[in-house]
Structure 1
Amino acid sequence: MFRSRSGRGKAVGTALLVAASLMLTLGACGVDPVTPQDARREGGTDDKAGGGGRRVDCAEVKCIALTFDAGPGKDTPHLLDVLKEKQVPATFFLLGSRHVDRYPDVVRRIADEGHEVANHTWSHRILTDLDESEIREELSRTQDAIERITGRKPTLMRPPQGRTDGTVSDVSRDLGLAQVLWSITAKDYSTTDSALIRQRVLDNAHRDGIILLHDIYDGTVPAVPSIIDELKRRGFTFVTVPELLAPGKAEPGTVYRPERD
């Protein structure tokens, strides 16, 4: 499926084209998403965000979470340079095959620089098309690979195409993984136009939103600096997904998805 970078991009891009519409069918699968606001209310007054301390209170501050799927790739080190310069934390949903196993030093750097390291399966197979043992293998192989590199297993995952159901939720719960979807997408798998990617994000940005981008596509990383600058100008504070949910904590098996404005 991932024979080359260009071939991989086309394959993953085609697979992701239906993601937005599929997100709307979660209820029909018996999976009820939890919003960041609900997670915070359920979390009480604890001052922890997942495993680390809270930097901000997203009940009071206009927060937004920047997330990247399907990496790391050749452009991820430059992306990390940008995030470091602009002091922006992000959440990286990493793909195992030909990504985590190809760029272990980048995975280690993502973790060392304070970003949230999360799971995007081993080979980007659609989990709802698999049986329970196959779902478990897709997730657990990536869990183990990331733990070998960083010393810590992820607590978050993102199912390819946003497709989930009761079986995916049960396996995720067993593996200690909460499921994180999104509310803002630039559809960067369909274009290399960085200006268009930037505009799509800015047009849809909202408080408590989760932005979905991919650090494996040529137009994406060049768009990130101006996205960050403009959203900061609009008063947004960038946070990781666990920080967005704090003082709530992402519960294994649960699906988290922001509501659009």
Structure 2
Amino acid sequence: MSGTPPLRALARSVLAPLAAVSLALGALSGCSSVETVSPEMARADAPEAGSLGKSRPGGSGGVDCEKAKCIALTFDAGPAPATPRLLDTLAKERVPATFFLLGKRHIEKYPELVRRIADEGHEVANHTWSHPRLTDVSEDRIREELDRPQRAIEKITGERPRLMRPPQGRTDETVSKISKELGLAQVLWSVTAKDYATDDSSLIQERTLEGADRDGIILLHDIYPGTVPAVPGIIKELKERGFTFVTVPQLLAPGTPKPGEVYRP
């Protein structure tokens, strides 16, 4: 034997110090230091025989992000009146996305859109019931904020989400513990257009494209008027740059989202 370690084991030894470390996320989300796992690390740490993730429409099911130049579109705080237009665009462009849905005034108001998101093959995820900073509330409130959307989404789609995004990206050990209890992995992001601060679609597109990179997770909101009109241009340019669009679980495949873990590129 040559003594050369297997490729995946070598990748783990190289990536672990980089990805599974305590990162100061103040610039990203304002939260205290938390341990995060990158998509690359999640893939490297998966069993050799792992699945390539849930099949999606548009040829994205089974994509190997160890080889392809993958990126994930994610949308927070919907569904909303603009969501049907967004879904039409995604269907036309054959692009899968991940939707972190908000309960109060959204899931409860637009159950037909929740169902459509799921039926069209997108990843349905949890963004709490009423959008509090989870690091500022009690354990009981955290549990209620996360469990209530789980039950509401399951009632509509027949499946409980496996992903959640903490409001403002704020998480800590307590949030992680309760997320693990509820079977939820936490997903942060690498690119934000700050679309909550502008209705300028051109600026939203510019900011998104400026930060886009391989294994990226793009944070947008389908509740703001400038965002959905920016999406066709974002998709067009990223396709021209050679990106393959995937859901967050596909980005991690053959790894799978682990409850309680915090994923961030």
TM-score clears 0.5: yes
Match of 2:68 among 42, 61, 82: 61
**Per the alignment, in what secondary structure is the counterpart of residue 224 of structure 2?**
coil
Deviation string 1:21-64 (CA, Å, 9 cap, x unpaired) is: 2537542xxx2000000000011323424555842100000000
Question: In structure 2, how many angstroms separate the alpha carbons of the residues matched to 1:24 and 1:120?
Answer: 17
Gaps of 5+ in 2: 1-24
Counterpart for residue 88 of structure 1: 95
Asked whether the equivalents of residues 75 and 222 of structure 2 are also in contact (C-alpha less than 8 Å), the reply is yes
Conserved? CA contact 2:52–2:63, under 8 Å: no
Give, as a single letter, the amino acid of the residue that structure 1 aligns with 2:37.
V
Partner of 2:10 in structure 1?
none
Choose the corresponding residue for 1:101, options 105, 108, 115. 108
TM-score of the aligned structures, taking structure 2 as reference length = 0.87
Whether contact under 8 Å (2:30, 2:169) holds in the other structure is no
Q: Who is 1:216 aligned against?
A: 223
Tell me, in whole angstroms, the C-alpha distance in 1 between the residues paired with 2:105 and 2:49: 39
Go from structure 1 to structure 2 and tell me whether the alpha carbon gap of 1:77 and 1:20 turns closer, same or farther (over 3 Å shift).
Answer: farther
Select 1:23's aligned residue among 8, 11, 29: 29
User: Secondary structure of 1:48's partner?
Assistant: coil
Separation in 2 of the partners of 1:140 and 1:155?
12
Deviations 1:68-117 (A, max 9, x none): 00000000001000000000000000000000000000000000000000
Match of 1:239 among 236, 240, 246: 246
Q: Residue 180 of structure 2 aligns with which residue? A: 173
What do residues 4-26 of structure 1 show as CA deviations (whole Å, max 9, x unaligned)? xxxxxxxxxxxxxxx96253754
Deviation at 1:134, TM superposition (A): 0.4
Question: How far apart, CA to CA, are the structure 1 residues paired with 2:215 and 2:157?
Answer: 28
Question: Sequence identity, in percent?
Answer: 65
The residue that corresponds to 1:7 in the other structure is none
Structure 1: which 4+ aligned runs deviate by more than 3 Å?
Answer: 22-26, 49-54
Aligned to 1:16: none
The letter of the residue matching 1:205 is: A
Paired residues, number: 237
- Aligned twin of 1:8: none
Q: Does 1:144 align with 2:151?
A: yes
Q: 1:131, CA displacement in angstroms?
A: 1.0
State the structure with more CA Rg. 2
Alignment RMSD, CA only?
A: 1.4
- Segments of structure 1 that go 5 or more residues without pairing to the other structure are 1-18
User: Which structure is richer in relative contact order (CA contacts within 8 A, separation 6 or more)?
Assistant: 1
Q: Which amino acid in 2 is paired with 1:197?
A: I
Do the aligned residues in 2 keep the contact of 1:156 with 1:180 (CA within 8 Å)? Answer: yes
Q: Partner letter of residue 23 of structure 1?
A: S
Equivalent position of 2:165 in the other structure? 158
Partner of 1:45: 48
